[in-house]
Every structure is written in C-alpha cells, then in structure tokens.
Amino acid sequence: MIVGIGVDIVDVPRFGTQLEKGSGLLERLFTESERPLPLRSLAARFAAKEAISKALGAPAGLNWQHCTIVKDEAGAPQVSLCGTVLERAEAMGITNWHLSLSHDGDMAIAMVVAER
C-alpha cells in the first residue's frame, strides 16, 4: 500500500551557486560518500532527499545525513536510511521505496513512492 509520495525539482546552476558559497551546505546536505559526485548528480540527490522528506510528511527534525542515495548493482538509485529518517519511515510502516531520478538541461528531478 502506498503511504507517501514526493517529488522535487532542482535548478542545477542555482544549486551549484549555493554550494560554492562556502557555508558548509555540501557537508550538511550530503554524506561523505555522496560529496565527490558531479554537480548534477548532487542536485538530483538533493531533489531525492527533498522528495523523501515530502513522502514522510516533511516532519521537523530530519537530519540530511540520515538519508543517502546509493546505486544498486545495475546502477539504479536506491534509498538508504538511518537515524531520524529511518525512525520516521519505520513509524509510518514504510518497508519499500521506489525512486526515480532524471536530468535534463539545467534541471534535476526526483520522484519517490513509499510503500508498506
């Protein structure tokens, strides 16, 4: 049963400008394994994290470090959770995530469906 959906879109150049400001945004938003990725991949992962937050009802107190977007053996994006994000997902009974990422021109988009 679907218990949440989320979608988010990111303007890649604008997102890059924000990351370059040196405010520690890269470290706050992304796990160590995500940080070396190219800008458009970071933008898509940020969109995914925003979409996941929306699927969870956008509760206060979620830590961005507790959500990592990884790839499976075939290269498909997968959701990996721990800490505050995992706690919220478990409280909602979420057992499965479906995630799609896309890039086109200067835009990156993510769509998630949360199931129990």
* pLDDT, tens digit, 9 for 90 and up, residues 2-18: 999 999 999 999 999 99
Q: What is the pLDDT of residues 31-73, one digit of tens each?
A: 999 999 999 999 999 999 999 999 999 888 999 999 999 999 9
Tell me which residues are annotated as active site: 54, 103
The structure's pTM equals: 0.94
Q: What confidence score (pLDDT) does residue 74 get?
A: 95
CATH class of residue range 2-115: alpha beta
Long-range contact list for 85-90, CB < 8 A, 24+ apart?
85/52, 85/56, 88/56, 88/57, 88/59, 88/62, 89/56, 89/114
Q: What confidence score (pLDDT) does residue 59 get?
A: 85
